[in-house]
Amino acid sequence: MQVRDVLKAKGGRVISIEPEAKVSEAVARLVQNNIGSLPVVDGNGRLLGMFSERDVLRGLHNRGEGFGQIRVSDVMTPNPVTCGPDDEVDDVMGKMSERRIAKVPVVVDASLVGIVSVGDVIKVMYDKVHSENQHLLTYIHGSY
């Protein structure tokens, strides 16, 4: 199974933020959309980094009160682990596990085209196994 299959199943909506945005704006976007991280993209859709709940916690701990007024580009995680639509889901799952990350941006020629989360991968894998089980049960019961 390829990453494009996961994107097709979940839809193409990606919520992102610009590098010049303030941390307070990014936090508001996280809360409003009930998500844990945001891809940081420039005006051309090129992925620059990821801004996550972890960045918020670290920033509040290290910088304190004025943290919300800092630009996202100053606190984001640059050069995130990425994948392409043609990558195998098993390989992406390995990256997620190795690097302890929950979301992997999907890029084509450095432009963001989607994002794959652990939950997305689990859902697609579960649906696939469930479907295969149903086919096997139908086959077994049909052969009596």
pLDDT in tens, the chain (144 residues): 899 999 998 887 899 999 999 999 999 999 999 999 999 999 999 999 999 999 999 999 999 889 999 999 999 999 999 999 999 999 999 999 999 999 999 999 989 999 999 988 888 888 788 788 887 888 888 755
Other C-beta atoms lying within 10 Å of the C-beta of residue 48? 21
Residues 116/7, Cβ–Cβ less than 8 Å: yes
Q: Which residues contact 3 (CB under 8 A, 6 or more apart)?
A: 83, 84, 85, 86, 87, 88, 89, 92, 106, 114, 116
pTM value > 0.85: no
CA–CA dist 31, 51 (Å, integer): 13
Q: Quote the pLDDT of residue 123.
A: 85
Domains of the chain: 3-142 (3.10.580.10)
Strands in 47-52's sheet, in edge-to-edge order, are: 37-41, 47-52, 77-78
CA 3 to chain centre: 12
Per-residue tokens: 14: 């990606």
Burial category of 54 from C-beta neighbours within 10 Å (exposed 0-12, middle 13-18, buried 19 and up): middle
